[in-house]
Amino acid sequence: MRSTAGVYERPSRRGNCERDRLATRYDEVVTPEFDVVVIGCGPAGNTVAYRLASAGVRVLMLDKEALPRHKVCGGGLSEKALREAPFSLSPVLDYRVGAALVAYDGAHPVRCERSGIGAMAQRAVLDGFMAQKAVAAGAVLHERESLESFEPRNGLLEVRTSRGAFTARVLVGADGVYSRVRKQLLPRATPRLVPAIEARLWPAPDMLDLVGDSCIFDLGVIPAGYGWVFPKRDHLNIGLYRFFKRTDNLDMRGLLEAFVARYRVLRGYERIAVKALLVPVAPVARRLASHGVVLVGDAAGLADPMFGEGIYSAIRSGNLAADAIVSTLQGKGALSSYDRRMRGLRFDLAAARLAAALFYSSPRLGFRFGVRTRLVSKLFMGMISGTVSPARGLIGTVGLTPYWLLARPSPAVASPIFD
Ligand SMILES: Cc1cc2nc3c(=O)[nH]c(=O)nc-3n(C[C@H](O)[C@H](O)[C@H](O)COP(=O)(O)OP(=O)(O)OC[C@H]3O[C@@H](n4cnc5c(N)ncnc54)[C@H](O)[C@@H]3O)c2cc1C
């Protein structure tokens, strides 16, 4: 699909010093032209690039890092994320999750078994695989090249990077939570960010076998949040998510250390690598597509507030952006159709925000009356796997109030994972 608009034009010599500097560089660089430039090779950018390249669109994808690179993330993939991916992710899955154990401060574990909870992957491997798929479909990949700025020029966008400049008809901001694209497009937007901390932990011998293909959620190891233990092929990914703004400067690292001390499968580990990052849990603006620019994934603030899950929304918004871009390039619609297509996802995220506000106001009660009550825990697991929408989960939980107030709590299971 060749764009019909003009090719690159050299910037005016009468511009400021920055322009002159770029103009000199442009003299030396043969500037290619692309229909679409995608910034960022996470699940969002890789999905857009793959879908567009598969449709014959000329795509350039840039990442400031060399791939594969680690991304601070649990690497938990819900069933709905697996379904939404534009190709099978099976080749890079470490595990299909067999069961979820939900506990409160290392005690009273409840076993929630169901087929199709989700799967575990390592982000370096997953993102590298997805980028390779996009390249195989025809996208051009530039690694170790970061976006610096962009500006409109003759109906196109001029995209300036650390290594040169490119013209494109559409720019996709898939550059994560600190998105430079978002900062330039929406300078006044203030993303709603909540804290999370992750550690890759290589446990003491035999502990990996003890965890097996189970993942653990613990609602009592951090106020207004949860801790997780996710099994990977040769290590455990553990972490804490908190549905609360960072204003109280809670000591996340200290809480993570206490979490490790609380679990026998974590204590006495051989090696640990800890990293913290923020999770954007509300769309950054009403319009996420304007002036030839589209925001997807974390750059658009689309992580799920209930669990901090962002890979599903990244892939989903990537798919919706690709649909909108293809129809724009074919002259069948405007880029703003992306915002219309996003309504369903935005509704789900708004319902999840409400559910999170209620649930995390007292995780202890949520655990006692929700997780330990069979019908409600079914809804909870459905929300994790994606078979139950946040709105249905919320309405179902409220509707079941008499039941969960009176029901006998499920007994704790005996498991060698717990003391
Ligand atoms: C501790 C933690 C645990 C999490 N666990 C989970 C989980 O288990 N499951 C889940 O679904 N979600 C999880 N999330 C959320 C998930 O990681 C994100 O929502 C998801 O990665 C968003 O994908 P993305 O493609 O939008 O952005 P990212 O994956 O962040 O990718 C952005 C890419 O853009 C590149 N980039 C950034 N700036 C530039 C630039 N200027 N120029 C060029 N490239 C640039 C980066 O190098 C990166 O490769 C977790 C988040 C955190 C913080």
C-alpha to C-alpha distance for 127 and 143, rounded to whole angstroms: 13
Q: Kindly state if the Cβ of 231 falls inside 6 Å of ligand 1.
A: no
Residues 221, 319 within the same domain: no
CATH code: domain of residue 144: 3.50.50.60
Mean pLDDT in the chain? Answer: 90
**pLDDT (tens digit per residue) in 277-320:** 999 999 999 999 999 999 999 999 999 999 999 999 999 999 99
First-last CA distance in the chain? 60
More confident residue, 318 or 411: 318
Same domain, 48 and 186: yes
- For residue 250, give the DSSP letter: -
Same domain, yes or no: 238 and 289: no
pLDDT at 30: 40
Q: pLDDT at position 373, please? A: 84
How far, in Å, from the CA of 177 to the mean position of ligand 1? 7
Portion of the chain with pLDDT greater than 70, in percent:
91
Give residue 248's pLDDT.
65
Q: Which tokens hold the place of 215?
A: 């993942």
pTM score, whole prediction: 0.92
> How many whole angstroms separate alpha carbon 55 and alpha carbon 243?
39
Q: Give the whole-angstrom CA distance, residue 156 versus residue 97.
A: 46
| Cβ proximity of 154 and 18 under 8 Å | no
168 membership: H or E segment, kind and range: strand 165-173
Together in a domain, 257 and 324: no
Give DSSP secondary structure letters for 296-323: -GGGGT---TTT---HHHHHHHHHHHHH
| Beta-carbon count within 10 A of 24 CB | 10
Is 214 in the same domain as 263?
yes
Same domain, residue pair 129 and 254: no
Q: Is the pLDDT of residue 203 over 60?
A: yes
Residue 331 burial (CB count, 10 A): 7
Find out whether the beta carbon of 146 lies less than 6 Å from any atom of ligand 1. Answer: yes
What was the pLDDT predicted at 384? 83
Residue 377 lies in a domain: no
Q: Is there an atom of ligand 1 within 6 Å of 42 CB?
A: yes
Residue 246, pLDDT score: 57
Q: Is 80 in the pocket of ligand 1 (CB under 6 A)?
A: no
**Atom number in ligand 1 closest to CA 62:** 43
DSSP letters for 74-120: --EEEHHHHHHSSS--GGGEEEE--EEEEEETTEEEEEEE-S--EEE
CB distance 37 to ligand 1 below 6 Å: no
Q: Are strands 193-202 and 271-280 parallel, antiparallel or unpaired?
A: antiparallel
- Residues 256 and 293 placed together within one structural domain of the fold: no
Q: Is 306 exposed, middle or buried (0-12, 13-18, 19+ CB in 10 A)?
A: buried
Q: Which of 80, 3, 46 is nearest to 296 (CA)?
A: 46
Residue 259 CA to residue 314 CA, distance in Å, equals 29
Ligand 1 contacts CB of residue 256 (under 6 A):
no
Task: Count CA atoms within 13 Å of residue 405 on its CB side.
Answer: 5
39 lines ligand 1 (CB under 6 A): yes
pLDDT of residue 187: 97
Residue 51 amino acid letter = R
Picking from 282, 273, 275, the residue whose alpha carbon sits closest to that of residue 243 is 282
| Mean pLDDT of the region 324-344 | 97
Q: At what angle do helices 123-136 and 43-54 cross, to 10 degrees?
A: 20
Does 173 lie in the same domain as 236?
Answer: no
Determine if ligand 1 sits within 6 Å of the CB of residue 97. no
Helices 43-54, 311-329: inter-axial angle, 10-degree rounding: 30
Choose the weakest-confidence range: 17-21, 34-38, 392-396.
Answer: 17-21
Q: Does residue 243 lie in a domain region? A: yes
Is there a contact between 319 and 84 (Cβ–Cβ < 8 Å)? yes
Residue whose entry in the numeric block shows the structure tokens 């609602």: 219
CATH number, domain of 273, equals 3.30.9.10
Mean pLDDT computed over 361-375: 85
Q: What is the band of 29 on the pLDDT scale with cuts at 50, 70, 90? A: very low
Please give the distance, rounded to the nearest whole angstrom, from the Cα atom of residue 328 to the centre of ligand 1: 27
Return d(Cα 194, Cα 378) in angstroms, integer.
Answer: 27
For tokens 């449709």, the residue is 55
Whether residue 358 is contained in a domain is answered as: no
Q: Which of these, 218, 212, 220, 224, lies nearest to 238 by C-alpha position?
A: 218
Same domain flag for 302 and 156: yes
Domain contains 7: no
| From 112-121, 259-268, 345-354, the region with the lowest mean pLDDT | 112-121
Residue 393 CA to ligand 1 center (angstroms) comes to: 26
Cα–ligand 1 centroid distance for 4 (angstroms): 33
Say if ligand 1 is within 6 A of residue 45 CB.
yes
173 lines ligand 1 (CB under 6 A): no
- Which is nearest to 260 in space by CA: 250, 272, 251? 272
Segment among 27-31, 179-183, 348-352 with least mean pLDDT: 27-31
The CA distance from 110 to 102, in Å, is 5
Q: Indicate the top mutation candidate among 71, 194, 201, 316 to test ligand 1's pocket, ranked by most ligand atoms within 8 A of CB.
A: 71
Same domain? 270 vs 198: yes
Pick the atom of ligand 1 nearest to 228's CA.
Answer: 8
pLDDT of res. 349: 97
Residue 241 belongs to some domain of the structure: yes
Residue nearest to atom 10 of ligand 1 (CA): 309
Q: Establish whether residue 304 lines the binding site of ligand 1, counting it when its CB lies within 6 angstroms of any ligand atom.
A: no
Is residue 49 one of the residues assigned to a domain? yes
Write the pLDDT tens digit of every residue in 93-130: 999 999 899 999 999 999 887 778 999 999 999 999 99
Largest separation between any pair of C-alpha atoms in the chain: 77
Q: What domain range is 258 assigned to?
A: 95-119+193-280
Could you say which of 341, 371, 390 is where a domain stops? 341
pLDDT digits (tens, 9 = 90+) for 164-177: 999 999 999 999 99
Given a cut of 60, is residue 343 above it in pLDDT? Answer: yes
128 and 113 housed in the same domain: no
Q: Which of 322, 341, 360 is the last residue of a domain?
A: 341
Ligand 1 centre to CA of 193 (Å) is: 13
Q: Is 11 inside a domain boundary? A: no
Residue 131 within a domain: yes
Same domain, 162 and 262: no
For the cut 80, the answer to whether the pLDDT of residue 12 exceeds it is no
Structural domain count, the chain: 2
CA gap 6, 169 in Å, rounded: 10
At residue 16, does pLDDT exceed 60?
no
Contact by Cβ (8 Å): 299, 184 = no
* Mean local confidence (pLDDT), 388-404: 87
The residue from 290, 310, 341 where one domain ends is 341
Beta bridge partners of 95: 120
